[in-house]
């Protein structure tokens, strides 16, 4: 089985979670490619059995050009402690999803990263990702999942392991579907 894990990441947390998701799928024998939204090559989707898409939660939903610009500006402030991910300057997930081919009935799932507060306060980008995947004809497996980041912008302890576990459950659900 082949999987593609596509992510958008500003400060590296979502990138790290994407790697953990890939590790979980690989532990179940999957051939996995991890790609940022900057890697727009259509051939990445060819022969993929499962598409897993993740991004950061900005202003309660998927990032926009404005929220991405604000995040980039925040990283330039002295003593911010923030460092932009290598792919942060590329396009956003919203644009990547809009360009996604339609009409497939392949399996997909969605995840996000968000501040460690109740979702009613932070929102969840994964829900918007899941809706867009469904609109493009993808069949969702598993519930959209959030992985938590502290207010100091580091993953909460244990989130990498939770991401791996979630991915193994996705692989199991795919096999039983």
Q: What is the per-residue pLDDT for 101?
A: 86
Q: What is the per-residue pLDDT for 102?
A: 85
pLDDT along the chain (177 residues), means of 10: 96 97 98 92 87 96 94 92 89 92 90 97 97 96 96 95 98 88
Q: What is the per-residue pLDDT for 36?
A: 94
Q: Looking at residue 146, which CATH number applies to its domain?
A: 3.40.50.360
Domain residues for the domain of 101 are: 2-176
Q: What is the per-residue pLDDT for 177?
A: 72
Q: What is the per-residue pLDDT for 15?
A: 97
Token pair for residue 78? 């002295």
Q: What is the per-residue pLDDT for 104?
A: 79
In the chain, the number of structural domains is 1
């Amino acid at each position: 089985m082949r999987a593609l894990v596509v992510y958008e990441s500003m400060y590296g947390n979502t990138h790290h979670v994407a790697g953990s998701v890939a590790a979980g799928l690989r532990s179940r024998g999957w051939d996995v490619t991890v790609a940022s939204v900057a890697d727009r090559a259509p051939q990445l989707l060819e022969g993929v059995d499962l598409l897993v898409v993740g991004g950061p939660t900005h202003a309660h939903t998927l990032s926009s050009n404005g929220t991405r610009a604000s995040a980039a500006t925040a990283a330039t402030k002295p003593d911010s402690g923030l460092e932009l991910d290598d792919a942060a300057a590329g396009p956003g997930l919203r644009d990547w999803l809009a360009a996604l081919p339609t009409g497939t009935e392949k399996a997909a799932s969605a995840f996000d990263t968000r501040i460690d507060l109740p979702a009613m306060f932070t929102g969840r980008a994964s829900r918007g990702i899941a809706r867009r995947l469904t609109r493009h004809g993808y069949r969702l497996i598993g519930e959209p999942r959030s992985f938590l980041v502290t207010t100091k912008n580091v993953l909460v302890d244990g989130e990498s392991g939770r991401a791996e576990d979630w991915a193994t459950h996705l692989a199991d659900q795919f096999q039983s579907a």
